[in-house]
């Protein structure tokens, strides 16, 4: 049994144009100590997947399929039951540390909150444990920072505090949604290294969400490429980058500016745009933008093709790509 088992997860949202399927059958497993990445562009459903795992979907969202954490079914749990899991079994790190932290409370109090709530620690114990956590995320001058407010810290330091909060109760699963997007490159590197180290030593599972192919290549063992609410390619990170079995993955890769391109090079672009949730086509959602699509691609949902062991492409043409 894996730590996290997501099976055919579907989410239907209420929009101004009626119901729309925002997640259309997402399945994956995550073991302890394993790192998995979700990559895709805005609106592909990567953050929605994270929200569904945490039971934080918007009002009126309908969830189908199954999410099991250590064998326990999470879909259908009521708010009170989800609350005991969030912050204790599932730790979360968000993109913008300034909005994730409460500006009016000290750092020590915010870390201590989940310790008091989930572990029932008294405030003195919680403070001692908070200090230990701040030292573990290597916040400089941790003892003084315990009484600092978020605005007195830099972006990277704030993200270390958010990570300390996420780790406070020793979660089984760490969900990090674009944890370094708001940070400078050098700080990004430090924070990613810190997360990798904590995941390795704590034996947690890490689900990392990012739009940055480079971050994925450096940070996760397996990755899932998402497009329009489905996983279009999944596999070991090295294998996905080596073969890129789905045309969308190739399009993303080619569109990426990278160091060393000649001045004035025009980047390859993906023509067209992502279909609206409310007008999702019958067949493959990428067909209208795909350079190798056939009539059959538009006729029905594409098959999951195993390109290699553990490496799957949701594409009729996966075997035909060079």
Partner 1 sequence: MTDALLLVEGLSKQYRLPRQRLLSRAPVVQALADVSLRLQPGRSLGIVGESGSGKSTLARLVMALERPSAGRVLLDGLDLHALPAAELRRARAKVQMVFQDPYGSLDPRRTVMQTVAEPLALLLGASRSEQQHRAAEALDAVGLRAADLAKYPHEFSGGQRQRIAIARALVTRPKLIVADEPVSALDVSVRAQVLNLMQDLQDAFGVSYLFISHDLSVVDLVCDEVIVLKDGRIVEQGNPDTLFRRPTHPYTRRLIAAVPGRRLAAESPRTP
**Given the rule CB under 8 A, which residues bind partner 1?**
41-42, 155, 184-189, 192, 211-218, 241, 244, 247, 250-261, 263-270, 273, 290-292, 321-322
Least gap, CB of 317 to partner 1 (angstroms): 9
Contacts of 297 (CB under 8 A, 6+ apart): 283, 284, 287, 290, 316, 317
Nearest residue (CB) to partner 1, 113 versus 212: 212
Least gap, CB of 211 to partner 1 (angstroms): 6
Decide the pairing of beta strands 205-210 and 173-177.
parallel
Nearest residue (CB) to partner 1, 67 versus 318: 318
Least gap, CB of 209 to partner 1 (angstroms): 14
Nearest residue (CB) to partner 1, 110 versus 230: 230
Nearest residue (CB) to partner 1, 46 versus 86: 46
Least gap, CB of 280 to partner 1 (angstroms): 17
Least gap, CB of 183 to partner 1 (angstroms): 9
Closest CA to 213 of 172, 182, 257: 257
Contacts of 141 (CB under 8 A, 6+ apart): none
Nearest residue (CB) to partner 1, 186 versus 309: 186
CB half-sphere exposure, 175, CA atoms < 13 A: 23
Helix (H, G, I), strand (E, B) or coil at 159: helix
CB-based contacts of 219-223 (< 8 A; 24+ apart in sequence) = 219/35, 219/37, 219/192, 219/195, 220/35, 220/36, 220/37, 221/34, 221/35, 221/36, 222/34, 222/35, 222/36, 222/37, 222/310, 223/36, 223/37, 223/38, 223/39
Nearest residue (CB) to partner 1, 86 versus 250: 250
Residue by residue, DSSP assigns 108-136 as HHHHHHHHHHHH---HHHHHHHHHHHHHH
Nearest residue (CB) to partner 1, 44 versus 173: 44
Least gap, CB of 256 to partner 1 (angstroms): 6
In 146-212, alpha helices (H): 155-167, 185-202
- Backbone φ and ψ for 46, nearest 5 degrees, come out as -70, -45
Least gap, CB of 138 to partner 1 (angstroms): 17
Question: Dihedral, CA atoms, 99, 91, 202, 159, nearest 10 degrees?
Answer: 0
């Amino acid at each position: 049994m894996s730590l996290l088992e997501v099976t055919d997860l579907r989410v239907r949202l209420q929009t101004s144009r009626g119901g729309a399927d925002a997640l259309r059958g997402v399945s994956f497993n995550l073991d302890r100590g394993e790192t998995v990445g979700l990559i895709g562009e805005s609106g592909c459903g990567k953050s929605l997947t994270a929200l569904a795992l945490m039971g934080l979907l918007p009002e009126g969202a309908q969830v189908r399929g199954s999410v099991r954490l250590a064998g326990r079914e999470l879909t259908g749990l009521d708010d009170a039951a989800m609350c005991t899991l969030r912050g204790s079994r599932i730790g979360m790190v968000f993109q913008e540390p300034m909005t994730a932290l409460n500006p009016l409370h000290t750092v020590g109090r915010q870390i201590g909150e989940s310790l008091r709530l989930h572990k029932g620690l008294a405030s003195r114990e919680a403070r001692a444990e908070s200090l230990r956590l701040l030292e573990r995320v290597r916040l400089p001058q941790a003892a003084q920072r315990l009484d600092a407010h978020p605005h007195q810290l830099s972006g990277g330091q704030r993200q270390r505090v958010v990570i300390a909060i996420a780790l406070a109760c020793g979660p089984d699963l760490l969900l990090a949604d674009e944890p370094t997007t708001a940070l400078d490159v050098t700080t990004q590197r430090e924070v990613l290294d810190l997360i990798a180290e904590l995941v390795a030593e704590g034996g947690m599972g890490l689900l990392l969400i990012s739009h940055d192919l480079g971050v994925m290549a450096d940070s996760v063992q397996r990755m899932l490429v998402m497009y329009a609410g489905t996983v279009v390619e999944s596999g070991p990170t090295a294998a996905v980058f080596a073969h890129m079995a789905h045309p969308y993955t190739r399009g993303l890769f080619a569109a990426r500016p990278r160091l060393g391109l000649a001045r004035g090079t025009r980047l390859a672009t993906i023509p067209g745009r992502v279909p609206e949730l409310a007008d999702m086509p019958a067949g493959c959602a990428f067909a209208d933008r795909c350079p190798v699509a056939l009539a059959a691609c538009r006729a029905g949902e594409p098959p999951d093709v195993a390109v290699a062991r553990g490496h799957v492409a949701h594409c009729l043409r996966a075997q035909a790509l060079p």
